[in-house]
Amino acid sequence: MEAIYTAEALATGGGRNGHVRTVDGILDTDVRVPKEMGGSGGAPNPELLFAAGYAACFHGALQAVARSQKVTLEDTSVGSRVHIGSNGEGGFQLAVELEVVIPNLPHDEAQALADAAHQVCPYSNATRGNIEVTVTVVED
């Protein structure tokens, strides 16, 4: 693959209770284990950052697919839930739920656009076959 863009970040400190910073300085924040996992919470965590990235990336893919199909979209949104739990073998695994809102489009057409976006989204391509990802079109 010939890279178009490369994002670069560095994690320091205590891992999930540490600090992350991108080389360009745009993202520079402490990270904390969420309270639900026994941590102090109160700061971003890797799953939260992944959820935000996946939602934004998938929304961009949805808009690109719509443009390529000459479909005009307005007021769309993508919500992302990233779950973490035991993999039953001493480690952890992720699962993702994406909720896509496409107003003013019949449900079948909206679902077809969301399914097409799932085929081109880089996050979807990176996770396909590795974790469960569900894509659901919901009413506004």
pLDDT range class, residue 36, cuts 50, 70, 90: very high
User: Domain limits of the chain?
Assistant: 1-44, 46-138
Quick check: 77 pLDDT over 90? yes
Q: For position 19, what pLDDT does the model report?
A: 97
pLDDT tier, 47 (very low <50, low <70, confident <90, very high otherwise):
very high
Residue range 66-73: mean pLDDT, rounded: 97
Q: How many angstroms separate the Cα of 5 from the Cα of each of 1, 9, 47, 54, 60?
A: 11, 13, 23, 17, 16
CA distance 140 to 138: 6
% the chain with pLDDT above 70: 100
Q: What is the mean pLDDT of residues 42-49?
A: 97
What mean pLDDT, rounded, does the chain reach? 96
CB 80 within 8 A of CB 117: no
CATH architecture observed for domain 1-44: Single Sheet (2.20)
Return the pLDDT at 120: 98
Mean pLDDT computed over 77-84: 98
Q: Residues 75-91: what's their mean pLDDT?
A: 96
Give ∠ CA 33-126-109 in degrees, rounded to 5: 105
pLDDT at 139: 83
| pLDDT at residue 51 is higher than 90 | yes
Please tell me if the domain spanning 1-44 has the same topology as the one spanning 46-138.
no
Name which of 67, 81, 86, 94 is nearest 138 in CA terms: 81
* pLDDT of 103 above 80: yes
Contact criterion met (CB below 8 Å) for 30 and 42 = no
| Candidates 3.30.300.20, 3.40.1160.10, 3.40.30.10, 3.40.920.10; CATH matching 46-138 | 3.30.300.20
